[in-house]
Amino acid sequence: MKGKIKVREILRLAAPILMYLPIYGIWFSLLEKHRFSHYALIHTTLDDKIPFCEVFIIPYVLWFFYVSGTVLYFMFTMEVEDYYKDVMFLVTGMTLFLLISTVFPNMHQLRPAVMPRDNVFTHMIETLYKTDTPTNLWPSIHVYNSLGTMIAVRNSKRIKKVGKIFSDILGVSIILSTMFIKQHSVYDVLTAFSMAIIFYLVFYHSTVVESFCKKREEKLAFRYD
């Protein structure tokens, strides 16, 4: 019986994400396929000073496991407060990104025309370039979601110090990777930081959010620790 209750509660926690991901996926896909009449070109002088470094494709790809893995960890350990704050932070930023991309189409021209080297990492980047167009990149969701995950891990009472240090190292590596593989401009990164600061205050220093999380915890059939 206890196992059935746990499964039911996990499904309840998962429901918001399961409903949102298809919406995000369809919306983003439509943006990628649609060709707008005008794209704002994003570029800074710092972009030209950052070298192309293909090895950073590794942390860039690890982002998918880092962000989703943290959400799943909070879900399956029934850390309700950490889970909802993390999910609300991510979903809000991702939705704002979609809205910005819809009303303010943007692009960059940072990618190298020819790969400077021939190795497994440049091959991975070439594959990435083929599947992900250099459009609708501002602000960087890679950076924003990494910051959100770092914040969530840092605020977790369950995750130990070593886990938090590892999270910080991986998160910083992912953020740097977006610029070193020429997937994002410095401007994309800085605006993602600005967004993260605002929504950190909203979701981690708000009595409304705290009250919501406590109410959700009280509705669980059982609790851990």
Q: Is the pLDDT of residue 215 over 80?
A: no
Please give the Cα distance from 189 to 194 (Å, whole number): 9
Which helix (H) or strand (E) element contains residue 106? Answer: strand 106-107
Kindly report the backbone phi and psi dihedral angles of residue 18, in degrees, each rounded to the nearest multiple of 5, phi listed first: -65, -30
Q: Is the pLDDT of residue 1 over 70?
A: no
- Which of 151, 135, 163 has its CA nearest to residue 203? 151
Q: Is the pLDDT of residue 132 over 60?
A: yes
Question: How many CA atoms lie within 13 Å of 130's alpha carbon, on the beta-carbon side?
Answer: 6
User: Mean pLDDT throughout 187-212?
Assistant: 93
Query: Over the chain, what is the mean pLDDT?
Result: 91
And the tokens for 15?
A: 């429901």
User: Mean pLDDT throughout 138-144?
Assistant: 96
Q: What is the pTM of this model?
A: 0.91
- Which of 157, 133, 127, 108 has its CA nearest to residue 33? 133
- Which of 51, 79, 46, 39 has its CA nearest to residue 159? 79
* CA distances from residue 8 to 35, 86, 214, 216 in whole angstroms, order as listed: 43, 21, 19, 14
Quote the pLDDT of residue 74: 93
Tell me: the pLDDT tens digits for 91-108? 999 999 999 999 999 999
| Per-residue confidence band for 172, with pLDDT thresholds at 50, 70 and 90 | very high
Q: Is the pLDDT of residue 5 over 70?
A: no
Tell me: the pLDDT tens digits for 38-97? 999 999 999 999 999 999 999 999 999 999 999 999 999 888 889 999 999 999 999 999
For the chain, which residues make up each domain, given as ranges?
Answer: 2-36+68-218
Residues 163 and 153 sit within 8 Å (Cβ to Cβ): yes
